[in-house]
A and B are shown apart, each in its own frame.
Chain A
Amino acid sequence: MGPSSTDTALRLAALTKTFGRKPVVDHIDLEVPRGSFYGLVGPNGAGKTTSLSMAVGLLRPDGGRAEIFGLDVWADPARAKELIGVLPDGLSMPERLTGRELLRFTGLLRGMDLKEVERRAGELLTVLELDRAERTLVMEYSTGMRKKIGLAAALLHAPRLLVLDEPLEAVDPVSAATIKAILQRFVRGGGSVVFSSHVMAVVEQLCDHVAVIASGRVVASGPLRAVRAGRSLEERFVSLVGGRIPEVGELAWLSS
């Protein structure tokens, strides 16, 4: 059976992870339809990074399944991993390479043809405006540049599903527009995108599906319109996760 036999790009079923005694991800179920642009939102520490790491094979779950186009990530990692491109949050890259070297060596390690790698790398670097920093090591990149080179590495092998953890964080508005355009083009071309974000406006602008995660559980998920339930995503988010605006009188010492 090939990957085309399923309509689900990513499926998480009862995925669970416990650190110490605290369940950080608590039986999460999630279904990302093929061709969808899927937003994952939730408060800090909700378990987004942990869930995505388990979904792509970077963190071993305590329980549950993660499937990519029907392939079990943990039972058949080689085939599943060929289909995804990943941009994790806060992990290191091959730091002592320039951007171009990073793409070249990553492509070669994937077994790609050198010519093809160089062509794609050149194009990605130009589009993401990293070609101006030809001789800068990734180690010395700014936070936003790191996100961009990470995205380039994730796109290099033309995956079918992109899993991105906070791809737009610390990226300047112009580059953000570029990245959004790239991602939208990717989805139009038949790809699927899952990404986590804290910026509701971006999620509303880009996504057709969204899931809200709080305390390691999915509290709402589905098509954007359904989750929003007639309100703005931000209002809906605050009501779902039970956030609280400080009452008048608290922190009074802050006013001078």
Chain B
Amino acid sequence: MAVLLIQMKLAVLRHSMTGRRAAQMITGALTGSALAGGLIVVAGRDHPLASLPFDLLGVGFALWTAGWLLGPALFGGGDETLRPEHFSLLSFTPRRLAAGLAGAAFVGVAPLVTLVAFSALVVVAAKAGLGAAATAVGVLAAVLQLVMCVLASRLVTAVLGQVMRSKAGAALAALVSAVILAGLHSSWVLSPLAQAALRTGFPDPFSTWIAALPSGWGLVAVRAAGHGQWPTVAAALTGLAALGVVCWYGWAALLKRRLTTRRASGRPARVASGAWAKGPMTAVAARELRTWSRDLLRFHYLVFALCYALAFCLLPLAIDAPIFLPWTGAVFALWVAAISANLYGEDGTELWGKMMIPDAARHDVRGRQLAWLLVTAPPTLVLTAAMVVFTGEFDLWPWLAALVPALLGGGAGVTVLVSVLRPVPLADPHRRGGNLLENGTDFAQVLLVLILTAATAAPAYFAVRLGPVWAGPVTGLVGGAAMAWLLGRLAATRLESSAPELLLHLRTGVSPKRRRPAPALDRGRPHLPKPDLGLEKLGLDLAPTGRRAYVIASLTLCWVPLVAQGIVPALMLTTGQITRSWFLALHLPQHLQWPTVIAMIALGLVLLTTGLGIGLYYLAKSRRDGIEPDGGP
């Protein structure tokens, strides 16, 4: 049974070793190996204190185990290569199925890397000269710890999977993962403490706690074996084994529940009148607002963004650093953008309905932007205002008044554009299980949107930094509105031109190949001389000559005003280290310097965005026509 399931899993893994999956797997394996190698190095190095390697390994193992337990909840998915549902109609008892799946759970890259990491137990025993017996105990403890880790991970993921079927559970899970992530991101707070610990050893209560956690029991066993305290060795190892068995039993019970109970039928929907939706765009916005409140995934994300913003900005208070507090609203807006940039992927093949409605793409994009703002802006503004009042940092107002609108506008633009350009296909909503964990979060997506959205606030940032006091807020407002408008327009154009490809991508989960027409189809038509390959690749071969020249010129030249005549002299002016060289602004009288710099940056941005806009338009057009047989007029 287990052997059969292991063979199945290997087969599935083999078939999914293509493209992005394989890249992800390899990146994961390399990162994991590097971390495991780090633990082994820690175990094998000389330390100023005899207890230090054990404490460090204890911390390392605790974090590693925490990764196994919470990783699936944080990063989505868990290992669902073999789904229990597939076997539910076969005549296995749940316990046998659990046994088989547990066996298969140990196959894969992650368990292997973990075993390498835990083999630090053997290294530390040998290095500390605890004797052959202790080394042997180390081997046994490494294996038991791996078993405990994998099974406990299954159990915790299953428990969370059950809990996350309700709104309360989704909120709770969001709170936990937000606090953990925010905690990791503010761990610099701990760095002075950690540096002291590395020199003088960990405080005793800390070491005791680390050893008391199940992840530390292997270390306890190894140390005890070195000192000949065999009852302790036996207790620690038995404890690990027993914990593994308990986790397995619990998992089997939950598996049975998962296979035999269906998602409770939904409560009756709360129907709002939605009377304000009277036109196409407001109708889309009203529909989106319903999705925000009725979709567990979106709700979970929203709570996550809120909890993260609060945790991240409040945690530094632990060392009396309230510096982030006024920015809570901005952090919230950034995270809402980051987690809502897969609008089309989440809706799945529902896209077809909009494709059948003339002109729906534009209304759909604008409606989604409106809904995003309605969801994001009020909490952002309230958080910002409340925190400013709370901290009394009223001097920050030009910064906040510039960056908050810029981020809101940028978020409204970036989310729809990324949703269209880089969808992450998910199962259709009605086919998804009730379990949020099955819908993995695409972290590349989240990171991309965080960076892009933050980047949209750059003009506002520079305006506050470099301009007069009114420039920041004005740039923030105007820039935010412009970003929302421009990026939304790009998204709509793109959606209109490539909706069939997007639908195919969402339906099959595979990005359609961007093929040019097969040569066979061209037969009989005169072969026109083609523009050179580069232009064709960029889709510019379809653009009229004037526009083609403009795109090329603007994209090549925009960097001169933007960077060379804008940002660089701006930096010089702020730092005071001025080299006149060829910087136009620096040769002008003082009162004209800043306006010139700003004008240059603006010119550069205009060239960049218009060039990109036109270029992308023709790129989309060429993709569309390229696959069409009768592309030419």
Minimum C-beta distance from B393 to chain A (A): 40
Q: Is the CB–CB distance between A96 and B357 below 8 Å? A: no
| Cα distance A2–B452 in the bound complex, in angstroms | 47
In the complex where A60-B628, A111-B280, A137-B269 touch, is A96 in contact with B352 (Cβ < 8 A)?
A: no
B592-633 CB mask vs A (1 if < 8 Å, else 0) is: 000000000000000000000000000000001001111000
Of the four ranges (under 10, 10 to 19, 20 to 34, 35 or more), the interface on chain A belongs to: 35 or more
Q: Does A74 contact B (CB under 8 A)?
A: yes
Q: Which of A40-48, A98-106, A179-187, A211-219 contacts the other chain?
A: A98-106
Q: Does A131 contact B (CB under 8 A)?
A: no
| Cα distance A153–B286 in the bound complex, in angstroms | 18
Q: Is the CB–CB distance between B278 and A140 below 8 Å? A: no
The dominant DSSP class at the B interface is: helix
Q: Does B507 contact A (CB under 8 A)?
A: yes
Q: Which of A79-87, A191-199, A224-232, A238-246 contacts the other chain?
A: A79-87
Q: Is the CB–CB distance between B287 and A92 below 8 Å? A: no
Minimum C-beta distance from A66 to chain B (A): 11
Q: Is the CB–CB distance between B295 and A96 below 8 Å? A: yes
Q: Does B271 contact A (CB under 8 A)?
A: yes
B399-418 CB mask vs A (1 if < 8 Å, else 0) is: 00000000000000000000
Closest B residue to A111 using CB positions: B280
Q: Does B353 contact A (CB under 8 A)?
A: yes
Chain A residues within an 8 Å CB radius of B279? 108, 111
Closest B residue to A154 using CB positions: B356
| Cα distance A108–B627 in the bound complex, in angstroms | 32
A136 in complex: contacting residue of B266, B295, B359, B501, CB < 8 Å: B266
B353-364 CB mask vs A (1 if < 8 Å, else 0) is: 111111110011
In the complex where A82-B358, A92-B348 touch, is A106 in contact with B294 (Cβ < 8 A)?
A: no
Q: Is the CB–CB distance between A64 and B629 below 8 Å? A: yes
| Cα distance A108–B503 in the bound complex, in angstroms | 22
Chain A residues within an 8 Å CB radius of B356? 56-58, 81, 84, 86
Minimum C-beta distance from B224 to chain A (A): 56
| Cα distance A75–B631 in the bound complex, in angstroms | 9
Chain A residues within an 8 Å CB radius of B629? 61-64
Chain B residues within an 8 Å CB radius of A138? 430
B327-370 CB mask vs A (1 if < 8 Å, else 0) is: 00000000000000000000111101111111110011000000
| Cα distance A57–B363 in the bound complex, in angstroms | 19
Q: Is the CB–CB distance between A105 and B277 below 8 Å? A: yes
Q: Is the CB–CB distance between B358 and A81 below 8 Å? A: yes
Which among B274, B280, B356 has the greatest number of chain A C-beta atoms within 10 A?
Answer: B356
- Which B residues between 207 and 261 are near A, CB-CB below 8 angstroms? none
Chain A residues within an 8 Å CB radius of B534? none
Q: Is the CB–CB distance between B266 and A139 below 8 Å? A: yes
Residues of chain B touching chain A, judged by Cβ–Cβ distance below 8 Å, are 265-266, 268-269, 271, 274, 277-280, 282-284, 286-287, 290-291, 294-295, 347-350, 352-360, 363-364, 428-430, 500-501, 503-504, 507, 517-518, 521, 624, 627-630
9 contacts between A and B (CB under 8 A): A58-B500, A59-B500, A60-B501, A62-B518, A77-B358, A81-B356, A91-B349, A95-B428, A101-B274
The 6 A-B residue pairs with the shortest CB-CB distance, nearest first, are A108-B283, A78-B358, A135-B268, A92-B428, A95-B429, A91-B349
